[in-house]
């Protein structure tokens, strides 16, 4: 009985000596995410240049980015109700 248990235990441990993903013959994904994303594109050129959203207000977004770069962001209201604080300050 003890011999059978020892043999069974040895066989179980023999299967745990290495990572199963590193064994030879195991499939490895190569650039799988990239290929999957490209398969979902309506036009392959969109992967390089993108496409604008229908009805997007690019001028509004560009103006907001410009204000941020120039440091002209509006004063934000403090949610704790202790008055207004300048954006970015604590």
The per-residue pLDDT for range 35-81, each reduced to its tens digit, is: 898 898 888 888 888 777 788 788 888 999 999 999 998 888 888 87
SS (H, E, C) 27-53: CCCCCHHHHHHHHHCCCCCHHHHCCCC
Q: What does the pLDDT read at residue 90?
A: 46
Instruction: Give φ, ψ of 8 to 5 degrees.
Output: -65, -40
Give the C-alpha separation, 71 to 66, whole Å. 9
Q: What does the pLDDT read at residue 3?
A: 81
Domain spans in the chain, listed from the N-terminal domain onward: 1-70
Query: How do beta strands 76-77 and 84-85 pair?
Result: antiparallel
Give the C-alpha separation, 26 to 81, whole Å. 60
Q: What does the pLDDT read at residue 87?
A: 52
Query: What is the model's pTM?
Result: 0.30
The per-residue pLDDT for range 26-35, each reduced to its tens digit, is: 887 788 888 8
């Amino acid at each position: 009985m003890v011999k059978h248990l020892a043999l069974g235990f040895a066989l179980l441990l023999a299967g745990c000596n290495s990572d199963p993903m590193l064994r030879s013959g195991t499939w490895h994904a190569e650039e799988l995410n990239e290929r999957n994303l490209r398969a979902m594109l309506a036009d392959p050129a969109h992967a390089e240049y993108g496409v604008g959203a229908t009805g997007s207000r690019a001028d509004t977004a560009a103006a907001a980015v410009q204000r941020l770069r120039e440091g002209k962001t509006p004063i934000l209201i403090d949610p704790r109700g202790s008055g207004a604080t300048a954006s970015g300050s604590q």
